[in-house]
Amino acid sequence: EAQVTQNPRYLITVTGKKLTVTCSQNMNHEYMSWYRQDPGLGLRQIYYSMNVEVTDKGDVPEGYKVSRKEKRNFPLILESPSPNQTSLYFCASSSQPTARPHEQYFGPGTRLTVT
Amino acid sequence: GENVEQHPSTLSVQEGDSAVIKCTYSDSASNYFPWYKQELGKRPQLIIDIRSNVGEKKDQRIAVTLNKTAKHFSLHITETQPEDSAVYFCAASKIGGYSTLTFGKGTMLLVSP
């Protein structure tokens, strides 16, 4: 089954404790992205990756890191989480331009709470 | 960069009524406009999209219209049903290579039986 998976789905942590949210897709997609969703602010892109070892900042990259060592995986790293990073995070992947060039397949989301 | 404005933020309709959600974009080079639906507690999913060389596209009860000159596009849902209740996001992007998909802030649609 074609899918994007994220782990963990829920995480409560404390300020300053490094954490990683994993994302994996099995559709051989080149493009992957991370978004955060906050009430009233919609979906804002944190980072994206066009291919292995190619990443770039989105609209709200501060406080986050990513890496793309393998095509299928795109982990999101919070080196020193702060309460303002409490949010719902979505990973997404998409294929090369096709009839639907940028259809984003979203993961199930990770609800992160930083206290 | 691209900026997408979406209105209204909430929309309540009676079952069977039509619903219209409107978006405007700022970058005249944007040429791909998808709409995503996010049901409560679930992930966003693409429901319809339109390219800038097309003025209107329909898929059963949903349709999208695009006015390139005015830089706005709209989602139309006819004969609404309670299962249409969700948050709807519009977005804008450029076809070719990879460009950021910029989302609007979302519209919560509530369809009352």
A40, A42, A107 member nearest B43 (Cβ):
A107
CA angle B42, B48, B49 (to 5 degrees): 120
Q: B37 to chain A: which residues are within 8 Å by CB?
A: none
Write out chain B residues lying below 8 Å of A31, CB-based: 98
Nearest to B106 among A42, A58, A103 (CB): A42
Please give the backbone phi and psi of residue A26, each rounded to the nearest 5 degrees, phi first. Answer: -115, 25
Tens place of pLDDT per residue across chain A (115 aa): 779 999 999 999 999 999 999 999 999 988 899 999 999 899 999 999 988 998 999 989 999 999 999 999 999 999 999 999 999 999 999 876 444 556 789 999 999 999 9
Structure tokens at A44: 């804002």
Flag if A97 and B1 touch (Cβ within 8 Å): no
pLDDT, one tens digit per residue, over B38-79 is 999 999 999 999 988 888 999 999 999 999 999 999 999 999
Using CB atoms, which residue from A42, A48, A107 is nearest to B103?
A42
Provide the residue type at A20 as one letter. T
Taking a C-beta distance cutoff of 8 angstroms, is the pair B92, B3 a contact?
A: no
